[in-house]
Structure formats: structure tokens, C-alpha cells
Structure 1
């Protein structure tokens, strides 16, 4: 809501992406109840490191908003992003927001501010649909989930205000910091625990 007041939201491509995320996420959530995500857990730090190195190497990446597609073509690419990352979010989850932002910058040509704004709606859709499936199956610890949800909302309000105030360059720096933190956290969880 905060982003939509200041950033032009690409609804014609964003809604299909969110819809595709709604489809992909419960499929991923169902698959994770059937198989062990251990291999993906081991690959995640490497994937995140690749994303970080690419972002650092491309100094101007995401600094300027120059969408590569328009109309139906952008909607199809965005829906592909939503479906793929939605599946990932339902299946595993860590780094979903970063992957969404990166995909919007890299594939669609958005700057980091517009990519972050677009990623929020898709991430809400993927989280919501996976949550429903996990809740039905009794896998949600509500006493923790509610506290985390409130904390997430507060952090989101602060982060969005900072992003809108400081722009795409600031969001890029925060993105890099968050990806580095995720690399450390996932590498520790995977290899050192």
C-alpha cells in the first residue's frame, strides 16, 4: 500500500505474476511434504553467492528503471517469475524476496525500487497460499507465526519508508547486505551446524 502511493505499480503484469505465485506456492508446499529439501538447502548459499557476485559485477544494474517488455509480453514473463519463485517459496522459502527483486531487475529491467515494490505483492500471494496449505495440514505454529507476522509488518513499514525516501540506489545497497546476510545464515545452517 505504501509503495503504491509513490511508485507506479505495473498492475497488468503484476496481477498475473501474483496469480501465478498463488498457483506455484501451494504446489511447492505440497512437494516439500513429500520430499526432503536437503539438496536445495545445500545449494542455496551457492545460488545466493552467484546472485551477489553478479549484482556486484554489474555496477549499474537496477539503478535505472528501463522495462524491457510491455503489455502481454511483460505479463507472461512476470507470470513465469511468479510461478517459478512461488514454487520455490512454497517448497523452501529463504531468500524469496531477494530472488523476486533480482528477477525483476535482471529479467524485466526494473530498478531496485520498482522491483522491490512489485516483489511485495507476489511475495504476499505466495506466502498466503503456502500458509493455507501448511495450516490445513497442521504444520503452522501459530504462537510463533503471529508474533513473527506483527514483527514483519513493523519492519516492512520502516523498510518501505526508507526505500521511498532514499530511492533505488539505497534499495540496491540493502539488497546486497540482505543477500550477504542470507549467504552467511544459510551457509552456517547448511555446513557448520
Structure 2
């Protein structure tokens, strides 16, 4: 069987050099993207770790001199989607020890009363935007995060998502319209 000429074989030294020089400079941007996708620090860290493990495992498919950032973001995005699909099929889990710990703590026994209306209104706008964004399909949420939050160009997004630029533009336009619709009904319900 003939081997594809695009396959490269990295020595151990070349793998380390690729990680140090090509991959690690993007770890902060990757974490920001992972956190915006997962909304959880631990899940974002797990996603980054999974991305780096996969990038090490499949490093021979990375072509030297190409856009390492786009290659890593594509792995991260695919890992997130795979985890998202797997988790969406699992039943919801509750950590009963955490609930029990709260009710046995001093916080639960304090006599401090709070005006829940103030707390709710104070955080509502941020929560409503997050909820609207989270309610979008993964493909739409991803383009909004990559473009409007992370500031990637259409070209970078096309490489990360492995889709044509025209599809990026179309998906982003549709995602923004869906988000606008979701937030418009919220704004109307608030009297705007």
C-alpha cells in the first residue's frame, strides 16, 4: 500500500520542538475558546488537555509551516462537539454531597435576607445573553464565539471549522439573526 506523500514523520525532538514553537504559543487563545464553549473552568482545561493529547497523537498529520493555530482550534472544536453529543445523551447528574454540604454549612443557617429581585435583575442581562447563545445549535454558537468574542477573521474561522469562507459568512449571518430573535423577544418582555 502506498503511503500518502503528505504524511510526515516527526522524531521525538521534532515533536517537542513543534509543541514548544508551534502549539504552546496558542494555549491562552485555546483556553479562552474552550471556556466560552463549555462555560466551565474544569471542562475547558479538560478540553485543552484532550486537544493537546490528540495533537500529539496525530502530529504526523500536521504539515510543518501551516497554520498551527487553526489546526489546534479544529481539533478543539471537534473534541467539544463530540463531548457535547455524548453528554447530551446522558441523563442529568446531581452532586448530592455538594447539596448536603451546603445545607450543613453556616451559609444555609445565616439570617441574612437578600432582595432576590435586585440580584435577579442585576445578573439578568448577562444570563439572558448567555442563555440565548447557549440555546443556539453548536455550529451557530461556535461561529459567534470565534468571530464576535475571539475576534478571528473569516479566513481563520474557515480553517478552524474546515468549511468554506462563504459557509462561514452564511452561518455567522444566520447565527446573529437567531441570536437577535431570541434577544428581541426578551427585550419585548422587558418592555423595550
TM-score by length of 1: 0.30
* Higher-Rg member (1/2): 2
Q: Relative to total residues, which structure has the larger helix share, 1 or 2?
A: 1
TM-score by length of 2: 0.30
